[in-house]
Amino acid sequence: MLVRRCNAVTIESRERIEFSLEELSRGGAGLRASCQWVASVPHAASECVLSDKEVHALGRISPSRWQEWDVLAAVHDVASLEGLLEKQLLVAKESTPSQRDLAVRDAHWNAISASAHYASRWQGKSTAQAQRELVEFTGKDLLDQIGVPPPPVKERAASADRLKLPQTAKTPLDALLDARVTCRNFKDTGKLALADFAAVLYRAFGARTVNDYAPGIQLLKKGVPSAGGLHPTEAYLLVQHVEGIASGLYHYHPVDHALEPIRALSQEDARETALRFVAAQDYFSDAHVLVMPTSRFARNFWKYRNHAKAYRALILDVGHLSQAMYLAATELGLAAFITAAINEVDIEQAFGLDPLEEGPLAVCGFGIRAAQKAEVEFDPLGAVWGEATA
């Protein structure tokens, strides 16, 4: 059998605290601390604990050369090799783990970025309990618990030494920016006008033109910047309340400005799906449209191969697009949101995405704001609710 080390793996020493009756009986605090090696393996989409012997062996096996198992077994502890193979840090040629590892290699991921991305994906998580704990935590003793936050502005000079700049004349853009408020109160009845739905999608995610940059290389021109003009972010949609559009899952085609149906959903299933996507943040699940911006890794890494900044560029891409969506929605009197607290794995499975090829980095959405404020919104200018709110 031919094997080699997987291409991307990050190993950290992690401390583990456990209750120990033995320590307690000795008069101690009853807690025992131990350190263990934890490996993040992108192609396996999981973490695993390694023994000292496994770490020692792994660091001495090539990720590029296929080697005979018997040759390695003559040098390394066989039980450690078997453990590494089971945990997919060693992959056998032609095996499924090997093919998944090859997908990471072919996408030209930077190894550290790959580990960070796949280790941070959620499945079936709920933020509800965390929110309840936060409400309890953020009472009158908040400052006693966590102290004073860093100041809102880092000041590098005394007030008298600052060079004052001229005041900027107000324009319609200022009014639009002032009115841009994250919505937590969506109208749960009525439908979003089809024309407004189409306008927001086009202005945020649509392609203004396709440029034949070079033979075989096409670049898109959108309303936001993108590293290398590649625009590797796709827009997958969960439509709930839009005129003329059935509830369900869709993919937005930015060049044709069209929807590609993926799966129809009942209204009840659509809301349950929305709730699952946003990790049980109930105030976002009634948005008329949820947009899942997903990164096509190979599209970006084709140019920025194994690049330390390539993954950061993908994150910036989603940020640019979400702000464009906010402004497009605000201009039409609509509301918008974005959240990073999402169940990536659930989204990937719902849309049939291979996480080694593309995956969501956030969920954003837009729709009609409710007439009454049931959930707190940060609106310090009083642009939406008519009074300054925190």
**pLDDT digits 0-9 by tens, 16-43:** 877 777 766 777 676 777 899 999 999 9
Per-residue model confidence (pLDDT) at position 386: 81
Tokens encoding 161: 């030494």
Per-residue model confidence (pLDDT) at position 149: 84
Per-residue model confidence (pLDDT) at position 334: 97
What separation in angstroms does the CA of 289 have from each of 199, 213, 361? Answer: 13, 33, 17
Per-residue model confidence (pLDDT) at position 140: 54
Per-residue model confidence (pLDDT) at position 230: 95
| Domains of the chain, each with CATH number or no CATH | 2-106 (no CATH), 171-367 (3.40.109.10)
135 pLDDT above the threshold of 70: no
Per-residue model confidence (pLDDT) at position 389: 56
- The torsion of the CA quartet 120, 124, 130, 132, rounded to 10 degrees, works out to 160
Per-residue model confidence (pLDDT) at position 141: 66
**Cβ–Cβ under 8 Å, residues 360 and 348:** yes
* C-alpha span between 292 and 362 (Å, rounded): 6
What separation in angstroms does the CA of 375 have from each of 120, 124, 301, 322? Answer: 28, 23, 40, 22
Secondary structure of residue 327 in the 3-state scheme: helix
What separation in angstroms does the CA of 177 have from each of 95, 183, 340, 370, 385? Answer: 53, 14, 22, 20, 16
Least confident of 1-10, 124-133, 244-253: 124-133
- For residue 388, name the pLDDT band (cuts at 50, 70, 90): low
Question: Average pLDDT for residues 183-202, to the nearest whole number?
Answer: 95
Question: Average pLDDT for residues 256-278, to the nearest whole number?
Answer: 97
**Cβ–Cβ under 8 Å, residues 234 and 292:** no
Per-residue model confidence (pLDDT) at position 138: 55
- For residue 134, name the pLDDT band (cuts at 50, 70, 90): low
350 pLDDT above the threshold of 90: yes
**Cβ–Cβ under 8 Å, residues 13 and 35:** yes
Per-residue model confidence (pLDDT) at position 142: 65
Question: Average pLDDT for residues 109-130, to the nearest whole number?
Answer: 88
Per-residue model confidence (pLDDT) at position 143: 73
Q: How many other β-carbons are positioned within 10 Å of the β-carbon of residue 59?
A: 9
DSSP lists the bridge partners of residue 237 as 250, 291
* C-alpha span between 104 and 357 (Å, rounded): 8
* C-alpha span between 138 and 135 (Å, rounded): 5
pTM of the predicted structure, to 2 decimals: 0.89
- Residue 236 CA from chain centroid, whole number: 14
- For residue 188, name the pLDDT band (cuts at 50, 70, 90): confident
Angle at 181 between CA 178 and CA 186, to 5 degrees: 145
- For residue 127, name the pLDDT band (cuts at 50, 70, 90): confident
* C-alpha span between 313 and 291 (Å, rounded): 19
What separation in angstroms does the CA of 213 have from each of 124, 221, 225, 231? Answer: 42, 11, 16, 14
pLDDT tens, position by position, 59-107:
999 999 999 999 999 999 999 999 999 999 999 999 999 999 999 999 9
Question: Average pLDDT for residues 95-121, to the nearest whole number?
Answer: 93
Average pLDDT, the chain: 92
Tokens encoding 381: 């200018």
